[in-house]
């Protein structure tokens, strides 16, 4: 068992501030690093080796975020292995870090097991690294069914 400490501070400059600090007990965790090159589509990342209902925390962070101008450029779908969320469309736009904890995971309507990423940014032959996204995924989960 391990303790997952989550601290979040939100502050409006010159305005109010809200802080949240939580400790969640998890049995296992994984930190996964993925490189998305410009033009990569449907890059699958398995985030849960066992029963998908065991995920209790999911963080998705990127070095490059989507700039919806006019279409999302970095997107992902969530899958339980049989069904995808969203079922249709371009996927969820990764425009900021995405954090799901506890009941927030229910937003998918399925138990997350696989994430599929797409980087629709165009390649720049003069600088191949310019639109490369370094994705960090952190998963906290139960290890036993």
Residues 2, 139, 84, 102, CA torsion sign: positive
Q: What is the mean pLDDT of the chain?
A: 90
* CA 83 – CA 78 distance, rounded (Å): 8
Could you tell me the pTM of the whole model? 0.90
On whether the CB atoms of residues 114 and 44 are closer than 8 A, the answer is yes
On whether the CB atoms of residues 66 and 72 are closer than 8 A, the answer is yes
Q: How many domains does the chain have?
A: 1
**Which range is least confidently modeled, 15-19, 33-37, 48-52, 126-130?**
48-52
In a domain, 97, yes or no: yes
In a domain, 117, yes or no: yes
Strands 84-85 and 74-79: antiparallel
Per-residue confidence at 67, pLDDT binned at 50, 70, 90?
confident
In a domain, 20, yes or no: no
Full domain range(s) for residue 38? 26-141
The enclosing domain of 103 has a CATH number of 2.60.120
Task: Output Rg (C-alpha) for the chain, integer angstroms.
Answer: 16
In a domain, 71, yes or no: yes
In a domain, 5, yes or no: no
């Amino acid at each position: 068992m391990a303790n997952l400490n989550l601290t979040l501070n939100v502050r409006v400059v010159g305005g109010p501030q809200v802080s949240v600090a939580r400790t969640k007990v998890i049995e296992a965790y994984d930190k996964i690093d993925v490189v998305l090159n410009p033009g990569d589509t449907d890059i699958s990342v398995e985030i849960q080796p066992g029963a998908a209902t065991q995920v209790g925390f999911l963080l998705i962070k990127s070095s490059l975020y989507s700039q919806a101008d006019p279409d999302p450029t970095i997107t992902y779908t969530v899958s339980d292995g049989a069904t995808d969320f969203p079922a249709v469309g371009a996927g969820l736009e990764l425009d900021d870090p995405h954090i799901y904890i506890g009941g927030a995971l229910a937003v998918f309507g399925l138990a997350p097991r696989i994430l599929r990423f797409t980087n629709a940014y165009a390649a720049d032959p003069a600088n191949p690294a310019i639109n490369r996204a370094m994705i960090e995924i952190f998963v906290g989960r139960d290890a036993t069914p």
